[in-house]
Amino acid sequence: MSLILNEQQIQQKIKRLAIQILEHNHDETEVYLIGINNSGLGFAKMLLNAIDKIEFAKPTFHLTQVSLSPANPLAKPVEISLPLKQLENKVIIFVDDVANTGRTLFYAMKPVLIDIVPKKVEVAVLVDRKHKNFPISINYVGLSLATTLSENIEVQIREVKEMAVYLK
């Protein structure tokens, strides 16, 4: 395993992403950060914490989670932990730790894009691998990384002694 980002670098990326999110949404009243599964939710919490620390007139941020099976996204319905109607005409930012092919992000967006009309939909990730097979564009990226298809990215940000990103 090769270390790609250490804890200090991850914290710097999170702070930069928080500033970018505020810059692009400064004129909004509400923004919903939707963490994808547990890793995305953990990263979304870190982003929200960084946003809260910035002294800047900002919209109200809400945090919620979307749950799905990345290995088999059609195995069960995609679930968002709040009523979909609450997201109607709102700014929504899907948050995940790593974007690989874009499949998980694509299916995570399904209820928001099919069942309601959001004001804006964006994506924030810590690491973008650039292997997109689905029409997903990442708006906020901590680190873009060109890897081979056989390599894996391991992000350790939840319930660990020290945060890190590794290339395996």
Q: What is the distance of C-alpha 109 from the center of its chain?
A: 12
What does the alpha-carbon distance between residue 159 and residue 30 come to, in Å, rounded to a whole number?
A: 29
Quote the pLDDT of residue 151.
77
Mean local confidence (pLDDT), 68-97: 94
Query: Average pLDDT, stretch 15-20?
Result: 97
Q: Which helix (H) or strand (E) holds 161?
A: none
Task: Report d(CA 17, CA 95) in Å as an integer.
Answer: 11
Per-residue pLDDT tens for 112-149? 888 999 999 999 999 998 878 888 999 999 999 887 77
62-76 pLDDT, tens per residue?
A: 999 999 998 898 899
Count helices and strands (H / E) in the chain: 4, 9
Judge contact between 63 and 53, C-beta under 8 A. Answer: no
3-state secondary structure of 39: helix
Hey, what are 101's tokens?
């092919």
